[in-house]
A and B are shown apart, each in its own frame.
Chain A
Amino acid sequence: AQSVTQPDIHITVSEGASLELRCNYSYGATPYLFWYVQSPGQGLQLLLKYFSGDTLVQGIKGFEAEFKRSQSSFNLRKPSVHWSDAAEYFCAVGVGSNDYKLSFGAGTTVTVRA
């Protein structure tokens, strides 16, 4: 079965600084990969996804992620963080095909300081 690890529980970053959130997955084949963001009291919003093709994926709100098969990673990046990016971020992996169940990481909480 597939699994996801988000090594960082909490990250604090200054507004305007760059942000990188790490995600490692365990799965034998090429997985479907996702990043979601959850603001306090809200549901999970899809930031971006990777199914195949170009390994650098652009998402909403200025985020991007890069799939690296050799490292089993799908790290999320943003060049310049805004205060509104303070939230919890979840990486998820799916098998795809005929089974759309996802395995979620434990999440990384991002705090943005002025």
Chain B
Amino acid sequence: DAGVIQSPRHEVTEMGQEVTLRCKPISGHDYLFWYRQTMMRGLELLIYFNNNVPIDDSGMPEDRFSAKMPNASFSTLKIQPSEPRDSAVYFCASTLEGTQYFGPGTRLLVL
């Protein structure tokens, strides 16, 4: 299995632009999690899905952030408009039987 796939791996954008991060979970996994990691705040859970349904989005920092999971093999995290403080590494993880498997992350820099 290829593991959790995230794209792009690196993204540099300017403040105010829309950013879309993508995730393909491991086939057969029924949970999908989005995290953000920064030096200051560590690893933060943003939102997670079970069988494509959002379960808890209380970690989403602002209305500028939104996430969707239209099917079992694809999820997006969108930031619109982006701000410099959104610069971070964003991880996607999928879960089977209680164990989370992480993707390689997307390193986002907002100028």
* A contact residues vs B (CB 8 Å cutoff): 32, 34, 36, 42-46, 49, 51, 90, 92, 94, 96, 100-102, 104, 106-107
Chain A contacts for B65, CB-based, 8 A: none
Q: What per-residue 1/0 map shows which CB atoms of B41-72 lie under 8 Å from chain A?
A: 01101001000000010000000000000000
Q: Are B100 and A100 in contact (CB under 8 A)?
A: yes
Which of A36, A42, A107 sits near B104, CB closer than 8 Å? A42
A107-B42 contact, Cβ under 8 Å, with A32-B98, A46-B101, A100-B95: yes
A4 CA to B31 CA, complexed, in Å:
22
Q: Is the CB of B91 within 8 A of A94?
A: no
Can you list 19 A-B contacts (CB < 8 A)? A32-B98, A42-B104, A42-B105, A43-B4, A43-B102, A43-B103, A43-B104, A44-B102, A45-B102, A46-B100, A46-B101, A49-B99, A51-B98, A100-B95, A101-B45, A101-B56, A104-B43, A107-B42, A107-B43
Q: B33 to chain A: which residues have CB within 8 Å?
A: 101
Contacts A43-B103, A96-B98 given; indicate if A101 touches B42 (C-beta within 8 A). no
Complex Cα distance, B97 from A51, in Å, reads 10
**Most chain-A Cβ atoms within 10 A of its Cβ — which of B4, B48, B95, B98?**
B98
B43 & A90 in contact (Cβ 8 Å cutoff)? yes
A39 to B98, CA, bound (A): 23
> Across the interface, do B48 and A101 meet the contact criterion of CB distance under 8 Å?
yes
Q: Chain B residue with minimal CB distance to A92?
A: B100
- Of the listed residues A92, A100, A104, the one surrounded by the most CB atoms of chain B closer than 10 A to its CB is A100
Q: How far is the CA of A90 from the CA of B102 in the complex (A)?
A: 13
In chain A, what residue has the closest Cβ to B44? A104
Alpha-carbon separation in the docked complex, A43 to B104 (Å) = 4
| Known A43-B91, A101-B45, A101-B48; contact A94-B98, beta-carbon cutoff 8 A | yes
A90 to B100, CA, bound (A): 13
Find chain A residues with CB under 8 A from B100 CB: 34, 46, 92, 100, 102
Instruction: State the Cβ distance, A71 to closest chain B Cβ, in Å.
Output: 23
Q: A residues within 8 A CB of B45?
A: 101-102
Q: Closest chain A residue to B107 by CB distance?
A: A41
